[in-house]
Structure 1
């Protein structure tokens, strides 16, 4: 079956990585662990200490590491170690992995030193899907109404959503295999991430970092099921994010589980309620109109002239009242002239001359 590849990029500044033994932004800290350097938009980490390591848990069929290595290093995936030599740009690549969760560990070799540092900039996680079933990315920025918010939140002028309230949370529902939350990592903070019914994950950010990185990432979720991801701020810290990106399934499952949005669900419920009400009201209006017409016709059949004119003029409109005087059909008036000569008579619409 033909497959298509989906890539997920994680910057070195993402808290999804675990660096050991230490991390710092202080000058010279590369000799005791990993030192952060704000290079470009995403930043990087570098070290000159042999034995320094970084770790990443990921789901996919492949992974690439980018940076540079001035000394040998080793990479372990699920316990399988491979030795790597000096490199720049793409320093490690592995494909053909089982589509499952994997544990990656990079360890700096003994040749590291002031003139032989290892620099790490990003990782690219690769996953494969059958053609026609590749998930589609949907992005919800800042205070998007599709997201569920609890507690006080504010929005900066650049669109970043922010809270420093303990227990404040944001959640999203989707049907698909992956989710990525991006935002600033410029101050120390802690937050819990809950994915469905799994145990909460505690994530910590450092007191330094770029204004845009991946605060949380998880793939390998069941593409046929609806998922809920909730991020909760821990007391004593703040949390901010720029966007939440989800990869939604584009193919029907054997047991469909559609994601009802508040708008579509509400619209559907309103239609189900309003249609019967409209039908009943329409039927009542038709019935009332029919009764009014019938009553009006009955009145017309029984109407008689009353009052002071009743004895002077009446025409038969159905039944005659007791006070009604029926007149014969009107005829031309004739009089006997004094000279015995009759004048010309007129019929309506016709004129005759003598």
Structure 2
């Protein structure tokens, strides 16, 4: 990119703003060293029609800040009605909702107030579509809350925990590396160019995550939700302890989330929660069938009910002899997974396993 192109595209500089009008201030954030929260916040705002045409002003000048159409991460003021979204002022304790404890940064504030509109715009979905609200919450949990926590200096782990390794590859670190090092100097113009790189990187990664969540995570949730609603019918287990998929879907994360949601819903209505799911049956890439024991938690290696100990580490004809079900392929030595040639055989293996 040529110097003239950069000059034409660069935002207004601090020293150019003395005579700036209200409209020229546009989106305002602070000058100097930048961070992931305002880099992402600015990129998010630029996806909305009302903010997309606005210029960006990076400044700490109170007069220019007062002229901003929307101000993020500077100004010591949080007032949604006036589009003021700073989090540094004394007494600020805003969180995303009552289920969260992490104090918001400018990224979290923009997502809290504009996230649903941003998703509606990006995915071409009606604002009232239930998927918009679902993804708004999901993407806060999976992406933005970490940026809020890091920017506000909130430890991810209790102080008693000792990290086994360093992690300097997260988005906040990568944005930080785009600032000049301690022994470099940079003009305000160069800082603005660096900020634009950081904002573009943060927004690019975020919207990649949006697209993945919409096109992969959400369809998987819908498949798991349908299978859970028919689990007694599809598995033949009247207590609903076996989940059956006729197509593979990434199920683990969704199973635990949906179980928790359904248990909360049942409790609220005075109902007894459904039996926990112990096994999942699904086709593999070779057209065979797998039986997987559900772990205690999504990250656990301990199963709620592992396949029977006598079957573990056994294969083929020897497995058939133990189970009495022809067509067995294997059972892992830990009992967390097994295989069968057919759907019917896999279901029979789960029925026998439930008896142990």
- Normalised TM-score (structure 2): 0.20
Higher fraction of helix: 2
Q: Which has the higher contact order (CA 8 A, sep 6+)?
A: 1
Q: Which has the larger radius of gyration?
A: 1
Higher fraction of strand: 1
- Normalised TM-score (structure 1): 0.20
